[in-house]
C-alpha cells in the first residue's frame, strides 16, 4: 500500500492528469487505493504493477464495464511510471500485460484517454491505438488551466465474442 501511495503522489507531483490535483496527501492516496482494492474484490478492476526489489515502479488498471451490453470493453486507466523509472519501457510492459489480462477476460475493446501533448499521447500512438477524438477543456491540469483530452481505442484480437 505504501509503495502504491508513493507512486500515485509522484505521478500527481509530476503533473500527470490522472484525476487528482496537487498536492496529494499520502493519506488521500492510500484511501484511493483502498477503493481500488474494493473494486478488485468486486471483480470490476484488475491492477497490474511493476516491482523492482520490492519497490513499486509503475501501475496500470483495467477498469471493466459491468453493464450487460458493454462487458466486452474496458478502460485502460491510471497508467503511471515513477519518474525515476521512466523511458525504460515499463509502460509498454504494463500495457502489454494489461492487454493479455483483458483478452483473458474476453474483452475485445480497450479505451484510453490522456492529456493532449502529454507523454502518454505519444505512447498510445506508438502502440498503434486509434485516436477517435479530442475534447477541449476536458480536465484541469495541476497548474489550474483546463486542457484538451485525447481519446483512443484499441481492438483486441483472440475473441469468441461475435461482433455485431
Ligand X SMILES: CC(C)(COP(=O)(O)OP(=O)(O)OC[C@H]1O[C@@H](n2cnc3c(N)ncnc32)[C@H](O)[C@@H]1OP(=O)(O)O)[C@@H](O)C(=O)NCCC(=O)NCCS
Does residue 23 have a cis peptide bond before it, meaning omega lies within 30 degrees of 0?
A: yes
Binding mask 57-96 for ligand X (x = CB under 6 A): ----------------------xxx----xxxxxxx----
155 belongs to the binding site for ligand X (CB under 6 A): no
Q: Are strands 109-115 and 73-81 parallel, antiparallel or unpaired?
A: parallel
* Residue 107 or 112 having the CB closest to ligand X: 112
- For the chain, the first-to-last Cα distance in angstroms comes to 42
Nearest Cα residue to 77 out of 129, 119, 113:
113
Backbone angles phi, psi at 9, to 5 degrees: -60, -40
129 belongs to the binding site for ligand X (CB under 6 A): no
User: Of residues 53, 67, 126, 157, which one binds ligand X by CB under 6 A?
Assistant: 126
Which residues contribute to the site for ligand X (CB under 6 A)?
11, 14, 16, 18, 79-81, 86-92, 114, 118-120, 122-123, 126
Amino acid at each position: 500500500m505504501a509503495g502504491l501511495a508513493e507512486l500515485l503522489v509522484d505521478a500527481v507531483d509530476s503533473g500527470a492528469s490522472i484525476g487528482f490535483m496537487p498536492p496529494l496527501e499520502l493519506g488521500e492516496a492510500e484511501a484511493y487505493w483502498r477503493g481500488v482494492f474494493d473494486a478488485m474484490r468486486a471483480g470490476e478492476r484488475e491492477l497490474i504493477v511493476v516491482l523492482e526489489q520490492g519497490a513499486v515502479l509503475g501501475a496500470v488498471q483495467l477498469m471493466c464495464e459491468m453493464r450487460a451490453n458493454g462487458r466486452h470493453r474496458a478502460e485502460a486507466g491510471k497508467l503511471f511510471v515513477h519518474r525515476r523509472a521512466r523511458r525504460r519501457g515499463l509502460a509498454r510492459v504494463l500495457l502489454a500485460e494489461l492487454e493479455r489480462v483483458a483478452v483473458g477476460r474476453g474483452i475485445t475493446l480497450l479505451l484510453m484517454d490522456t492529456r493532449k501533448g502529454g507523454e502518454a499521447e505519444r505512447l498510445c500512438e506508438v502502440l498503434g491505438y486509434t485516436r477517435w477524438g479530442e475534447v477541449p477543456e476536458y480536465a484541469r491540469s495541476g497548474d489550474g488551466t483546463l486542457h484538451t483530452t485525447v481519446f483512443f481505442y484499441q481492438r483486441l484480437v483472440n475473441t469468441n465474442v461475435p461482433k455485431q
